[in-house]
Structure 1
Amino acid sequence: MQLTVLGCAGSAPGPDLPTSGYLVEAGGARIVLELGSGVFGPLTRLCDPFDLDAVLLSHLHLDHCADFGSLTVYRREHPEPPYDVRARRLPVFAPAHAPSRLANAHAASRAELATTDLTDTFDFVPLVPGHYAVGPVDVEVAAMRHICEAYGFRISHGGVSLVFTGDTVPCPELVRLAEGADLLLADSAWRAQAGRANYLHMSGREAGEVARSAGVGRLVLTHVLPWSDRDGVLRDAAEAFPGPVTLATPGATYAV
């Protein structure tokens, strides 16, 4: 299994730093995990978007799904698609309200929205806790604790597993999902701070504590806010987790 970081900024992009987006390749399957602002371009450097096998969206804040509009345009408007995109719709595993939410983002007017139905191009699969198959890859889904409906994913193939937290605060559901994972890709928005809002994000220290509790092999910190202290987030996580810890950067690859 290989993980490639397309973007990793939290909440808003930074200079040359797109928001959340990752390409996971395993067993011949290509899965895009999140499609935040600015990640579609880097994706096209790595593979033809027509070759994707699935899209996973943990939740529908724009820093995790804004470039779904770019994928929509590409699949709908490309003059020479390699196959009939309406006969071979791309599976999109996302919260149940994704079809209407993403159609609203795609349409330019109320009149256009009335005729915008993305289900002609995408096969939307509403997420609930449980297991899903993408070719030979198993995707386990667990509900996380964020300010909206949000999920974490455990992607497994060939005896290895990668866990992505999505956006969440520490919770037992996350520790259970991540237990024994080879790599934990963890929301680490900021340094620990007094009085921060509940149900938003983890700090670097909290991500490290979750990684330690779950006994993961490696911790990769992502979704650091552009105005946060990245080096401080890394130090905090490394103090809490005894294993290898790195900061995600665009273009970085991890063999799992």
Structure 2
Amino acid sequence: MRIHVIGCSGSFAGPRSAASSYLLEHEDEAGRIWRVLIDLGSGAFGPLQRVIDPAQLDAVVFSHLHPDHFLDLTGLEVSWAYHERTDLPQLPIHAPASLPQRLAAVMCREGDVPDGVDTVPFAYHSISDRHVFEVGPLRFETRLVLHPVEAYGFRVTCGDEVFVYSGDTDSCQALDELAAGADLFLCEAGYLEGRDDRFTGVHLTGRRAGECAARAGVKVLALTHIPAWTEPQQALEEARAVHDGEIRVVCPMDILDVSP
């Protein structure tokens, strides 16, 4: 498995990056490449098209429904619904149950059918805590994590490889369990110790991400979701103070191998 970082700016699209979006790819034994997009936040649909034709996607998975994680689904819907190809199947979407209503509200319509067409471009599948689903050879396990809205982290396995994505969360037991033994732990670090202590139950700091990685025994910790007003080096230093393993800060268009 490998991860293409499409966008990694925390809370909103920043001057150097779109908001959260990650393309998971895996080539199976037959040579078929499976492509699953995890989140598609504000500003991310543009850079996604520099990496792949969106019509190549096999599924999209959403951690939660804050705009910096789902809003550019509007662009993907337009692309899928009005594509010149007439043979596109419904694209599977795995997300919190209210996503269709949220998308319809943003698009100023009622129902799931885009204006001017007669079919729904997406096949919606609701997720919940401890939910398991598969996309080709990729097995997804979900856990409800600690955030102001319904939000999930994901554990993705394929063969012996384990990739874990925190989504947006503060420290919680579910995240520790999700991350246990991960080869690659893509973890948000939206806050800084000291500066953001007045906020609770929203985001991790670099330190808390590092503490989770240490408890979980992950092989590589990749910090993401760092907002434009934060120097990434600060989050990295916080994590390194509590975790001895390999740590990096991701940048747009990075490619991360789950098992180097």
| TM-score for the superposition, normalised by structure 1 | 0.93
Q: Is the 8 A contact 1:190 1:229 kept in 2?
A: no
1:15 aligns with 2:20: no
How many positions carry a matched residue from both structures? 247
Measured against aligned partners, the alpha-carbon deviations of 1:44-72 in whole angstroms (never above 9, x if no partner) come to: 12211111011010000000011100101
Q: Give distance in 2, aligned partners of 1:199 and 1:153.
A: 18
**Alpha-carbon distance, 1:42 to partner:** 1.5
Gaps of 5+ in 2: none
**What SS does the corresponding residue of 1:41 show, helix, strand or coil?**
helix
Query: Amino acid of the residue matched to residue 18 of structure 1?
Result: A
Picking from 214, 225, 234, the partner of 1:212 is 214
Aligned residues with identical type, % of pairs: 39
Q: Give distance in 1, aligned partners of 2:220 and 2:203.
A: 20
Gaps of 5+ in 1: 108-112
Q: Give distance in 2, aligned partners of 1:42 and 1:161.
A: 26
Corresponding residue number in structure 1 for 2:65: 60
Corresponding residue number in structure 2 for 1:69: 74
Q: Give distance in 2, aligned partners of 1:203 and 1:145.
A: 13
**Alpha-carbon distance, 1:38 to partner:** 1.4
Q: Give distance in 2, aligned partners of 1:231 and 1:117.
A: 45
1:135 aligns with 2:136: yes
**What SS does the corresponding residue of 2:101 show, helix, strand or coil?**
helix
Q: Is the 8 A contact 2:100 2:112 kept in 1?
A: no
Q: Structure 2 matches for 1:89-238, cutoff 5 A?
A: 89-107=90-108, 113-114=109-110, 116-117=112-113, 120-128=120-128, 129-193=130-194, 195-238=197-240
Q: Give distance in 2, aligned partners of 1:32 and 1:227.
A: 26
| TM-score for the superposition, normalised by structure 2 | 0.91
Measured against aligned partners, the alpha-carbon deviations of 1:78-126 in whole angstroms (never above 9, x if no partner) come to: 2x22x533xx21111100101101111122xxxxx13553681101110
Q: Name segments (4+ residues, structure 1) moved above 2 Å.
A: 114-119, 193-196
**Alpha-carbon distance, 1:41 to partner:** 1.5
Picking from 59, 67, 87, the partner of 1:84 is 87
Per residue, is there more helix in 1 or in 2?
1
Query: Amino acid of the residue matched to residue 19 of structure 1?
Result: A
**Alpha-carbon distance, 1:131 to partner:** 1.2
Measured against aligned partners, the alpha-carbon deviations of 1:186-213 in whole angstroms (never above 9, x if no partner) come to: 0100211263211110000000000000
